């Protein structure tokens, strides 16, 4: 994997840089939705204020609990340290809420300041967040890379016209055909981005 043309890297957070052990099936069960329901999309469809507030509260509790227990993915911290030493611009685009994201960033001392959460821009797979980073960094999207672990990440990159990179795990191998690159350990990404 050669990524010599990449001038900035945007990361997903949960399941990519960190393992927050979010159990989406459990969240769906607690809210009372079928397993596999896209949480934010379903939440946006709720007209009943009480129902919305109840579901939103349950989702937030799960996210905050995940943030309180989040740990680095293997090699991710070392990879970010290398990119920092290379002065590679980095950013995070997540579907998480801001409070849980900030808790994770602070607890793990993640060295990335450019962060957009679902309160800051349209949620993935809408490309708004990636396009904002490209605008702020004054870089063409083709020279940026979005790294994530889920189909929404790959779709977001595609919608922005940005190359995508899939962090492989035991559940997402079937998405690899839709990614421009994929890797199974952050050391591989660090090598590919080494200058």
Q: Tell whether 65 and 106 lie within a shared domain.
A: no
Q: Tell whether 47 and 107 lie within a shared domain.
A: no
Reported confidence tier of residue 189, pLDDT bands at 50, 70, 90:
very high
In a domain, 99, yes or no: yes
Is 108 buried (19+), middle (13-18) or exposed (0-12) by CB count in 10 A? middle
In a domain, 157, yes or no: yes
pTM (predicted TM-score)? 0.93
In a domain, 3, yes or no: no
Range 69-99 burial, b when 16+ CB lie within 10 A, else e? ebebbebbbebbebbeeeebbbbbbbbbbee
Q: Report how far residue 76's alpha carbon sits from residue 91's, in angstroms, rounded to the nearest whole number.
A: 14
Q: Tell whether 95 and 31 lie within a shared domain.
A: no
Q: How many domains does the chain divide into?
A: 2
Q: Tell whether 172 and 182 lie within a shared domain.
A: yes
Q: Report how far residue 159's alpha carbon sits from residue 128's, in angstroms, rounded to the nearest whole number.
A: 9
Q: Tell whether 174 and 109 lie within a shared domain.
A: yes
Q: Tell whether 88 and 31 lie within a shared domain.
A: no
**pLDDT digits 0-9 by tens, 60-115:** 999 999 999 999 999 999 999 999 999 999 999 999 999 999 999 999 999 999 99
pLDDT score of 24: 87
Copy the structure tokens of residue 104. 């994770």
> For position 137, which CATH number holds?
3.40.50.1000
In a domain, 2, yes or no: no
Q: Tell whether 13 and 76 lie within a shared domain.
A: yes
Helix or strand holding residue 7 (H, E):
none
Residue 193 pLDDT greater than 80, yes or no: yes
Query: Which residues partner with 131 through β-bridges?
Result: none
**pLDDT digits 0-9 by tens, 15-70:** 999 999 888 899 999 999 999 999 999 999 999 999 999 999 999 999 999 999 99
**pLDDT digits 0-9 by tens, 114-134:** 999 999 999 999 999 999 999
Q: Tell whether 122 and 75 lie within a shared domain.
A: yes
pLDDT score of 56: 95
DSSP string, 86-139: TT--EEEE-SS-HHHHHHHHHHHT----EEE-TTTSPPTTSTHHHHHHHHHHT-
pLDDT score of 122: 94
pLDDT score of 27: 94
Q: Report how far residue 61's alpha carbon sits from residue 42's, in angstroms, rounded to the nearest whole number.
A: 17
pLDDT score of 3: 86
pLDDT score of 87: 97
| Residues spanned by the domain of 38 | 24-69
Distances (CA, A) of 98 to 66, 115, 190, 194: 13, 9, 27, 31
Q: Tell whether 55 and 97 lie within a shared domain.
A: no
């Amino acid at each position: 994997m050669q990524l010599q043309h990449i001038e900035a890297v945007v990361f997903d957070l949960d399941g990519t840089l960190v393992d927050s052990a979010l159990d989406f099936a459990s969240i769906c069960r607690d809210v009372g939705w079928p397993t596999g329901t896209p949480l934010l999309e379903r939440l946006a469809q709720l007209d009943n204020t009480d129902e919305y507030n109840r579901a939103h509260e349950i989702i937030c509790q799960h996210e905050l609990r995940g943030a309180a227990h989040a740990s680095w993915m293997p090699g991710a911290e070392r990879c970010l340290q290398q990119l920092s030493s290379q002065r590679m611009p980095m950013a995070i685009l997540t579907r998480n809420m801001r409070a849980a994201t900030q808790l994770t960033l602070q607890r793990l001392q993640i060295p990335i300041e450019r962060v957009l959460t679902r309160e800051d821009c349209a949620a993935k797979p809408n490309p708004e967040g990636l396009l904002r980073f490209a605008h702020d960094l004054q870089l063409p999207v083709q020279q940026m890379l979005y790294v994530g672990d889920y189909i929404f990440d790959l779709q977001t990159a595609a919608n922005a016209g940005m190359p995508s990179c899939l962090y492989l795990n035991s559940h997402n191998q079937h998405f690899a055909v839709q990614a421009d690159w994929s890797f199974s350990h952050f050391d591989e990404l660090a090598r590919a981005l080494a200058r």
